[in-house]
Amino acid sequence: MYEVELKFRVTDAAEAERRIAALGGRLADAVEQVDRYFAHPARDFAVTDEALRLRRTGDDVVVTWKGPRLDATTKTRREIELGVAPAPDGIATIASWTDLLEALGFRQVREVAKRRRIAVVPWEGSAIEAALDDVAGLGVFLELEVQAAAADVAAARGRVESLANALGCTAAERRSYLELLLATG
């Protein structure tokens, strides 16, 4: 599957929420997410435009690999995401996975912490996820995302761009939260 995403910096979260609601989306309660990113022992993910992360949302943990971006406007990329077996303690689970990855030669780069509120917006025959993210050290962003098979990427990109326009979003941010945090020092 491919993740088709656009992200925008938000200066007025209440206005963004109002616009999402006007299009039929309802933002859920905030959840805390912590993403722990890793560097590969034999290749530079910054050069290959890939990412490997562990994400903890409460006690749920997933391992995600993201491939290189496929175009110059959106953050469309192949994504493989695997859930980790349910565990009673997400913090202990992510620590154990970190130990495993480090034993294999991966190196922890940085954590990204955020409070995320998600809405599903019905748009052009599809359901597009709109996430309002308050990212520690960066501020508030709106991410619009849909998953698509390879043959459907172009149509999905068009739907996400159309929804962004309807929400009044301009100046998409192509860098990941990790890239933005690393750029701030």
Cα 31–Cα 136–Cα 105 angle in degrees, nearest 5: 90
The span from the CA of 90 to the CA of 74, in Å, is 31
* pLDDT band at residue 72 using 50, 70 and 90 as cut-offs: confident
Residue 85 has pLDDT above 80, yes or no: no
Q: Is the pLDDT of residue 87 over 80?
A: no
Closest CA to 4 of 102, 122, 165, 143: 143
Supply the CATH number for residue 171's domain: 2.40.320.10
- Residue 178: CB partners within 8 Å, gap ≥ 6? 35, 37, 51, 109, 110, 112
Question: In which domain, by residue range, is 89 found?
Answer: 2-184
Q: What is the pTM of this model?
A: 0.91
107-136: average pLDDT: 97
Question: Tens of pLDDT along 171-185?
Answer: 999 999 999 999 997
Per-residue pLDDT reduced to its tens digit, 30-62: 999 999 999 999 999 999 999 999 999 988 999
Give me the number of domains the chain comprises: 1
Residue 102 is predicted with a pLDDT of: 96
Average pLDDT (92-109) is 94
* Percent with pLDDT over 70 in the chain: 100
Whether 117 has a pLDDT exceeding 80, the answer reads: yes
Separation between Cα atoms, residue 142 and residue 94, nearest integer Å: 26
pLDDT at 90: 85
E strands present in 10-138: 31-39, 51-57, 60-69, 77-83, 107-123, 126-135
pLDDT of 12 above 80: yes
The pLDDT value recorded for residue 42 is 96
Q: What sign results for the dihedral spanned by CA atoms 102, 44, 177, 129?
A: negative
